[in-house]
């Protein structure tokens, strides 16, 4: 026991790269060596040079995204005008898994026309480099993988270390990266732990490597965070521990001198933020706001502020401004690592506060415990997605949870009478992978590659016509923004190169999804999705500006769609709302209360 926490595991690991160099140095191989490890480019090159000094010819490659590394590190592209890449379609994985693994190659080769085609069922990419003089060079790029049992017992194809020594060896090589992952899972009972938080601190040697395009980074540390968090979550679900409230917190550090793992269980000990003045001005914010600044901005806005409380005891403040037009609910940070909507919601609300007739409720941060965890994690790794902060302190998605902070949404809807919920979200600004669990994030396969700022509109039965009109008009108004249109076009072009799955409609350059169901409380819910996870600086400002504009456009469009029934509108007393059946004819132009 340490400081009220139970240590489940604490150990160091031998670095596979060092062990391999020592082994080859002590017993020189009979022929050339090829190895695939979880190491950054600089470390692999340094090891190759050490072995070359001993007369040992070795090529040490990355096991993670090997095709991308081939083009960055080995391919001679002088005089090459086009490339054909035939990607494997292994039967044990998603048909597009290896196509997605090539991302964002097409954008890294602006002078080479790249075409992707389905290939064989093995583990090898076939590459053709077509030269300007008509010549063609052919290469085979091995992608080391193994079929293993996944979190739910089903077989998955996982990235693996590998060793080839001419004339003697050709097979999988266990690595400290994979061993750390396995031992972390084995150290935690599948039935869960009797604690509020599980902390997983891991130190690895590999540094993050920016790719020079968009927000893309080769990050073994981030991949390990995602794999550990979701694999443990899945393990608990499969083993019966998913019913126990638990916050799983991987804290992965890169560039360490030694590789280590420490897992503890206990109570959260995040320090509370001191209250501070509201940031000035919001429009210039280049980073996610601390909770204290969000709450100060809300208090400074005026209007009546109410408060719920989170599982970990944090306040969940929300504001209600009564008015004479149709009410709406504006909320952000349902998922604590999606942060541009927080500033966008505050900026939009500040505009609406100046409109006397405007009627809205505002919850700037719904999931305050997840948001506070995100603030802690980005202090160390600001460019990582940190999906551990996506969920509440009990490990639930707030929209489907029974946690106390959800009362803010339910009470705000009831008190305001809002039938339209503007729910501002974000998603990863760069590729999302889980190399040790099948590469594609299970359950989130459609979210692996950014597709720009997009909309999801969901509606109750009978509200389809209004939802469709609202979505189309909102998309056209958002698409009229040149900066947003350009950014969307760029990300959509990349998506089309590297993914076959595009299950959405594009309106004015804005991807749109329209769904029907009762999984949200309001009859109409507009979800914005900004590629904001990991983003800072000018790009973050652009995204929270888009969030603000989405709110203001949606409010204006909604009021216009509801206008035919306005003469029958009576302001609701606080806390009262009318049932849909008594006040509405859903699906008509008079669908609003």
Q: What is the pLDDT of residues 230-258, one digit of tens each?
A: 999 999 988 877 778 899 999 999 999 99
* Three state DSSP letters for 107-118: HHCCCCEEEEEE
pLDDT at position 276 = 58
Distance, in Å, from the CA atom of 499 to the CA atom of 183, rounded to the nearest integer, reads 33
Q: What is the pLDDT of residues 3-17, one digit of tens each?
A: 578 999 999 999 999
Q: What is the pLDDT of residues 124-180, one digit of tens each?
A: 999 999 999 999 999 999 999 999 987 777 899 999 999 999 878 899 999 999 999
* Three state DSSP letters for 96-164: CHHHHCCCCHHHHCCCCEEEEEECCCCCEEEEEEEECCCCEEEEEEECCEEEEECCCCCEEEEECEEEE
* Alpha-carbon distance values, 270 to 225, 267, 384 (Å): 19, 9, 19
Segment 321-326 shows an average pLDDT of 96
Q: Is the overall model pTM greater than 0.85, yes or no? A: yes
CA 447 from chain center: how many Å?
Answer: 7
Distance, in Å, from the CA atom of 417 to the CA atom of 176, rounded to the nearest integer, reads 56
Question: In this structure, which topology does domain 290-567 adopt according to CATH?
Answer: Aminopeptidase (3.40.630)
Distance, in Å, from the CA atom of 129 to the CA atom of 140, rounded to the nearest integer, reads 11
E strands in 153-303 = 155-159, 161-165, 169-173, 197-203, 209-210, 217-218, 247-253, 259-266
* Alpha-carbon distance values, 505 to 471, 510, 511 (Å): 11, 8, 6
pLDDT at 565 over 60: no
Q: Is 518 helix (H, G, I), strand (E, B) or coil?
A: coil
Query: What is the chain's percent helix, strand, coil content, to nearest 5?
Result: 35, 25, 40
Q: What is the pLDDT of residues 513-545, one digit of tens each?
A: 999 999 899 999 999 999 999 999 999 999 999
147 CB neighbour count, 10 Å cutoff: 14
Distance, in Å, from the CA atom of 542 to the CA atom of 490, rounded to the nearest integer, reads 15
Segment 7-30 shows an average pLDDT of 96
Per DSSP, 294 falls in state H
Residues near 69 by beta carbon (within 8 Å), at least 6 away in sequence? 41, 61, 62
User: pLDDT grade, residue 588 (50/70/90)?
Assistant: very low
Phi, psi of 462 (to 5 degrees): 95, -10
Phi, psi of 547 (to 5 degrees): -60, -45
**In the chain, pLDDT over 90 holds for what percent of residues?**
83
């Amino acid at each position: 026991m340490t400081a009220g926490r139970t240590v489940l595991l604490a150990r160091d690991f031998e670095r596979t790269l060092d062990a391999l160099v020592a082994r080859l140095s002590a017993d020189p191989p009979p022929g050339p060596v090829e190895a695939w490890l979880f190491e950054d480019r600089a470390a692999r090159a340094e090891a190759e040079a050490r072995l070359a000094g001993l007369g040992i010819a070795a090529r040490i490659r990355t096991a993670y995204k090997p095709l991308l590394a081939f083009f960055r590190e080995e391919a001679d592209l002088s005089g090459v005008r086009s490339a054909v890449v035939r990607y494997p379609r292994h039967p044990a994985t998603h048909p597009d898994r290896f196509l997605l693994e090539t991302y964002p190659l097409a954008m890294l080769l602006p002078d080479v026309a790249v075409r992707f085609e389905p290939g064989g069922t093995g583990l090898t990419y076939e590459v053709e480099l077509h030269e300007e003089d008509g010549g063609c060079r052919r290469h085979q790029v091995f992608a080391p993988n193994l079929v293993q049992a996944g979190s739910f017992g089903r077989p998955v194809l996982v990235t693996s270390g590998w060793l080839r020594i001419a004339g003697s060896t050709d097979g999988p090589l266990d690595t400290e990266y994979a061993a750390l992952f396995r031992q972390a899972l084995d150290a935690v009972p599948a039935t869960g732990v009797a604690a509020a938080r599980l902390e997983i601190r891991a130190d690895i040697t590999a540094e993050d490597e920016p790719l020079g395009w968009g927000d893309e980074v080769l990050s073994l540390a981030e991949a390990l965070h995602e794999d550990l968090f979701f694999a443990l979550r899945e393990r608990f679900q499969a083993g019966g521990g998913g019913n126990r409230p638990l916050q799983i917190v991987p804290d992965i550090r890169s560039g360490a001198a030694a590789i280590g793992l420490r897992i503890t269980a206990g109570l959260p000990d995040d320090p509370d933020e001191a209250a501070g003045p509201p940031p000035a001005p919001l429009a210039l914010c280049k980073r996610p706001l601390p909770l204290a600044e969000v709450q100060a901005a809300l208090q400074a806005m005026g209007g009546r502020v109410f408060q719920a409380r989170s599982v970990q005891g944090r306040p969940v403040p929300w504001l209600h401004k009564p008015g004479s037009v149709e009410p709406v609910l504006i909320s952000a940070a349902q998922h604590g690592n999606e942060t541009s909507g927080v500033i966008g919601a505050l900026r939009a609300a500040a505009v609406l506060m100046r409109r006397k007739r405007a009627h809205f409720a505002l919850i700037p941060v719904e999931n305050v415990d997840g948001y506070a965890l995100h603030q802690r994690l980005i202090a160390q790794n600001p460019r990582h997605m940190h999906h551990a902060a996506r969920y509440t302190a009990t490990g639930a998605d707030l929209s489907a949870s029974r946690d106390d902070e959800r009362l803010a949404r339910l009470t705000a809807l009831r008190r305001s009478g809002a039938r339209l919920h503007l729910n501002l979200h974000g998603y990863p600004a760069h590729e999302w992978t889980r190399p040790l669990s099948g590469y594609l994030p299970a359950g989130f396969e459609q979210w692996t590659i950014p597709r720009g700022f997009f909309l999801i509109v969901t509606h109750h039965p009978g509200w389809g016509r209004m939802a469709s009109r609202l979505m189309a008009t909102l998309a056209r108004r958002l698409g009229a923004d040149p900066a947003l249109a350009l950014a969307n076009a760029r990300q959509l072009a990349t998506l089309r190169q590297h993914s076959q799955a595009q299950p959405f409609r594009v309106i004015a350059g804005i991807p749109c999804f329209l769904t029907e169901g009762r999984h949200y409380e309001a009859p109409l819910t507009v979800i914005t999705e900004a590629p904001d996870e990991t983003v800072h600086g000018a790009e973050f400002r652009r995204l929270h500006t888009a969030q603000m504009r989405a709110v203001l456009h949606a409010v204006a469009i909604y009021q216009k769609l509801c206008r035919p029934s306005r003469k029958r509108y009576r302001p609701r007393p606080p806390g009262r709302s009318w049932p849909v059946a008594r006040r509405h004819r859903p699906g008509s132009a008079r669908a609003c209360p």
